Amino acid sequence: MAQYAVLIYAGDSAHAPDASAEELETHTDHADDLAERGSMVAAYALTPRDMATSVRGDTITDGPFLDSKEVVAGFYVIEAPDLDAALAIARTNPVVHQGGGVEVRPVHSGGPVERR
Amino acid sequence: MTVEAAIVATHRREWARVLAATVRVTRDLDLAEECVQEAYAAALEIWARDGIPGNPAAWLSTAARRRAIDAIRRDRALRSRLPLLVISPEEPSDEDSRPDGRLDLIFMCCHPALGRAAQVALTLRLVCGVPVADIARAFLVSEPTMAARITRAKKKIATARIPYRMPGPAELPERLPGVLAVIYLLFTTGHTAPSGGSLVRADLVDRAMQLARMLRELMPGETEIGGLHALLLVSTARQETRVDEDGRLLRLKDQDRSRWDRAALAEAHDIIVAALPAGPPGRLLLQAAIASLYAEAPSYEETDWPQILTLYDRLLPVWPSPVVRLNRTVPLAMVAGPAAALAEVEELERDDRLAGYQYLPAIKADLLSRLGRAGEAAAAYRQAFTLASNEAERAFLAGQLADLTPVEGPSQRA
């Protein structure tokens, strides 16, 4: 088994601070589904692009790091035996059919940090 | 046969089989390649002494696998630092339906997670055993550039765990077109070769043909593979007559049909006839059927135009491309007349995707000329001439333009 990070790209994140449960339903269902199948290792939904702050050199700017149509709306880490299996999981993300997409990257190392 | 000739023939025919067998042992592409190369080198000496074995591929596979096992035992630390390939366990009971790993190998090389250029390079290197230097020459890049491209692709295969495995029935329809596209690209790169380096490029045509034949043998039920193979056969059968002695491009109607390779055309015909009843034909099979029908007519005038038009009408829904629509105007002009075809071409002129496509003004010019509108035809030929990318095509268009001039009045010529 190997770990893959799945970066979710969308026009914006649906997870606004004041988003209702209904608005997030498809995303929550998808996350629950992956968790049930036992392939999910970790998952994070990010707040919308307006909440982002970027730092390059000494400059701090309002907004996402890259000025592009899509932003990283969230990411999760899954476990899969090979790339085909990872892609099969990643492509079930609803964003794939909503004009966005996902990027799948093998994880080199890392994980939750144990805090003392 | 001399030992050298036997080795060359076996290298060309059996490389994929031998490498596939060795990869199963090493689970490392570089080590497998090295062991296979050593096995071929050893064969040169041993076959000269003991005679050529009855089954050269089996001999080489055994020799390469033995080397691999030795190398792994001797020094595991020397093996590449990359993770081992993901290989599905061998199913011993299934020996007959999975005769060897050649399909695993080719589907790994053509995995959609690799870029097209990498897929093509890997297929030539790993499936066909072509040296990196030759691949570099065929694609007009330096050897280090090509070597880096192949190394990067191998690294991604290992790191991202692209499996060494042919896709299951569910994924196959999605994956097969990628493999066929790689083979087709190899073919067209060789087929449309500019004069320089033509030997290397002619080899690409052979390699593509060999791959298509191999896939057809390994997956006989896939009619699109048959379509690809037939398409390559028809194109190759006519290869010799595409240009005249001076290297000038010849239109289909001006080509010497007696010089076409009848055996290749007959093979293509048989493949198409066998595949067509198997179900709704795919894009490659229909393209092959069109090319084959063009080639089967005893003369250009006797081409079965209505049948070709029907095939184009079936091709358009499976491949809704403006280029297909444009090509369809050729049989349309023969069936419904040049005016109807011209109306269709003029509609296609509004499609942005064909802007700058040289064959549009060329076809338009021909239609205008047949309608007696020489002045407009000349303008269209000039437009095609500016867009043409190679010398042979430009020379052809200049010839067409020159042929038009006598039709025009003296005042226009001045």
Cβ separation A81–B160 shorter than 8 A: no
| Domain range annotation of chain B | 344-414
Tokens, residue B89: 């366990």
Cβ separation B160–A83 shorter than 8 A: yes
CA–CA separation, A24 and A42 (whole Å): 18
CA–CA separation, A92 and B26 (whole Å): 34
CA–CA separation, B276 and B270 (whole Å): 10
CA–CA separation, A80 and B50 (whole Å): 49
CA–CA separation, B348 and B288 (whole Å): 24
Cβ separation A82–B113 shorter than 8 A: no
Compute CA distances A33 → A10, A29, B65, B184, B342, whole Å.
20, 6, 44, 41, 56
Per the rule left: phi > 0, alpha: psi between -120 and 50, beta: everything else, B307 is alpha
List the Cα angle B127/A107/B166 in 5-degree steps.
30
C-alpha count within 13 angstroms, C-beta hemisphere, residue A66:
9
Number of neighbours of residue B365 by Cβ within 10 angstroms:
27
Q: Is the predicted pLDDT of residue B112 greater than 90, yes or no? A: yes
Q: Does residue A84 sit at the B interface (CB-CB below 8 Å)?
A: yes
> Residue B397: CB partners within 8 Å, gap ≥ 6?
B362, B381, B384, B385, B388
Backbone φ, ψ for residue A105 (5° rounding): -130, 130
Compute CA distances B124 → B127, B187, B240, whole Å.
6, 12, 25
Number of neighbours of residue B358 by Cβ within 10 angstroms:
19
Q: Does residue A91 sit at the B interface (CB-CB below 8 Å)?
A: no
Q: Does residue A106 sit at the B interface (CB-CB below 8 Å)?
A: yes
Tokens, residue B57: 């591929």
Tokens, residue A15: 């997870």
With tokens 């269902």, the residue in question is: A29
Backbone φ, ψ for residue B400 (5° rounding): -60, -40
Residues in chain A: 116
Average pLDDT, chain B: 89
CA–CA separation, B281 and B174 (whole Å): 16
CA–CA separation, A15 and A20 (whole Å): 9
Residue of B108, B161, B165, B175 to mutate, interface with A, max A Cβ within 10 Å: B161
| Domain range annotation of chain A | 2-106
Q: Which of A82, A104, A106 has its CB closest to that of B163? A: A82
Residue of A1, A4, A84, A87 to mutate, interface with B, max B Cβ within 10 Å: A84
Sort B159 into a burial class: Cβ within 10 Å, 0-12 / 13-18 / 19+.
Answer: middle
Cα distance from N-terminal residue to C-terminal residue, chain A = 29
Nearest CA in chain B to A80: B161
Chain A residue numbers with beta carbons less than 8 Å from the beta carbon of B159 are: 106
Chain A residue numbers with beta carbons less than 8 Å from the beta carbon of B82 are: none
Strands A2-10 and A71-80: antiparallel
Low-confidence ranges of chain A (pLDDT < 70): none
3-state secondary structure of A3: strand
| B166-214 pLDDT per residue, tens | 999 999 999 999 999 999 999 988 877 654 456 667 889 999 999 999 9
Sort B107 into a burial class: Cβ within 10 Å, 0-12 / 13-18 / 19+.
Answer: buried
Nearest CA in chain A to B87: A82
Q: Is the predicted pLDDT of residue B64 greater than 80, yes or no? A: yes
| B289-317 pLDDT per residue, tens | 999 999 999 999 999 999 999 999 999 99
Nearest CA in chain B to A105: B160
| B131-179 pLDDT per residue, tens | 999 999 888 899 999 999 999 999 999 999 999 999 999 999 999 999 9
CB A15, CB A45: distance < 8 Å: yes
| B251-292 pLDDT per residue, tens | 888 899 999 999 999 999 999 999 999 889 999 999 999 999
Number of neighbours of residue A37 by Cβ within 10 angstroms:
11
CB B40, CB B11: distance < 8 Å: yes
Chain A residue numbers with beta carbons less than 8 Å from the beta carbon of B111 are: 83
Please give the average per-residue pLDDT across B317-337, as a whole number. Answer: 95
- Give the DSSP letter of residue B369: H
Q: Does residue A83 sit at the B interface (CB-CB below 8 Å)?
A: yes
CA–CA separation, B48 and B65 (whole Å): 21
Q: Which of B86, B159, B167 has its CB closest to that of A81? A: B86
| B21-50 pLDDT per residue, tens | 999 999 999 999 999 999 999 999 999 999
CA–CA separation, B224 and B230 (whole Å): 10
Nearest CA in chain A to B164: A82
| B368-391 pLDDT per residue, tens | 999 999 999 999 999 998 888 777
Chain A residue numbers with beta carbons less than 8 Å from the beta carbon of B167 are: 84
Cβ separation B162–A82 shorter than 8 A: yes
Sort B199 into a burial class: Cβ within 10 Å, 0-12 / 13-18 / 19+.
Answer: exposed
Tell me the shortest Cα–Cα distance from B160 to chain A, in angstroms.
6
Tell me the shortest Cα–Cα distance from A82 to chain B, in angstroms.
5
Tell me the shortest Cα–Cα distance from A15 to chain B, in angstroms.
30
CB A62, CB A69: distance < 8 Å: no
3-state secondary structure of B165: coil
- Give the DSSP letter of residue B211: H
Cβ separation A83–B113 shorter than 8 A: yes
In this structure, of A24-33, B56-65, B84-93, the range with the lowest mean pLDDT score is B84-93
Cβ separation A82–B161 shorter than 8 A: yes
Nearest CA in chain B to A106: B160
Q: Does residue A81 sit at the B interface (CB-CB below 8 Å)?
A: yes
Tokens, residue B236: 């190759």
Regarding an ipTM greater than 0.90, the answer is: no
Cα distance from N-terminal residue to C-terminal residue, chain B = 68
B38-42 long-range contacts, CB within 8 A, separation 24+? B38/B64, B38/B67, B39/B63, B39/B64, B39/B67, B40/B7, B40/B10, B40/B11
Tell me the shortest Cα–Cα distance from A47 to chain B, in angstroms.
29
Chain A residue numbers with beta carbons less than 8 Å from the beta carbon of B178 are: none
**For domain A2-106, is the CATH number 3.40.30.10?**
no
Per the DSSP assignment, residues forming a β-bridge with A104 are: A6
Tokens, residue B388: 């043409």
Backbone φ, ψ for residue B153 (5° rounding): -65, -40
Nearest CA in chain A to B170: A88
Dihedral of alpha carbons B52, B53, B58, B64, sign: negative
Cβ separation B161–A106 shorter than 8 A: yes
